[in-house]
Amino acid sequence: MYCTNCGKELPNDANFCSYCGKQVFNTQSDTYPHSHLIFYDEYRIQCIKDSVFLIVEKNKKSAILDGKTLTLLTDFEFDYIHEIEDVSDCVVARVCKGGKLGIINVISREIMVPCIYDYVSEYDTMSDYRDVKINNKHGAIDKYGNEIVPCVYEKIKKEKRKFIVKKNNLWGIYNGVDTTKCIYDYLSLNERPSKLKGKYGLLDDNGKIILDFVYDEIEWEKSNCGIYYILKRGKYYGCYNRIYNVITECIYDKIIVENEGWNSSYFLIEKNGFYGCYDNARHSLTDCIYTTADSARLAAGHKTSTMKWLSDYSLYLQKMKQQNNK
**125: pLDDT strictly greater than 80:** yes
Per-residue pLDDT at 35 exceeds 50:
no
Across the range 240-256, mean pLDDT stands at: 81
Lowest mean pLDDT among 41-55, 110-124, 146-160, 300-314: 300-314
Interval 97-122 mean pLDDT: 94
Distance of alpha carbon 22 from the chain centroid: 39
pLDDT at 31 (0 to 100): 45
pLDDT digits (tens, 9 = 90+) for 216-236: 999 887 766 667 888 999 999
Using pLDDT thresholds of 50, 70 and 90, give the confidence band for residue 302.
very low
**Average predicted confidence (pLDDT) for the chain:** 81
Mean pLDDT to the nearest integer, 249-270: 73
The band of 295, judged by pLDDT with boundaries at 50, 70 and 90, is: confident
Q: Does position 312 have pLDDT exceeding 80, yes or no?
A: no
Q: Which of 34-38, 64-68, 104-108, 159-163 has the lowest mean pLDDT?
A: 34-38
Name the band, by pLDDT with cuts 50, 70 and 90, for residue 290.
Answer: confident
More reliable by pLDDT, 73 or 308: 73
Q: Does residue 33 surpass a pLDDT of 60?
A: no
Q: What predicted TM-score, i.e. pTM, was given to this entire model?
A: 0.71
What's the pLDDT score for residue 83?
Answer: 87
Rounded mean pLDDT, 135-151: 94
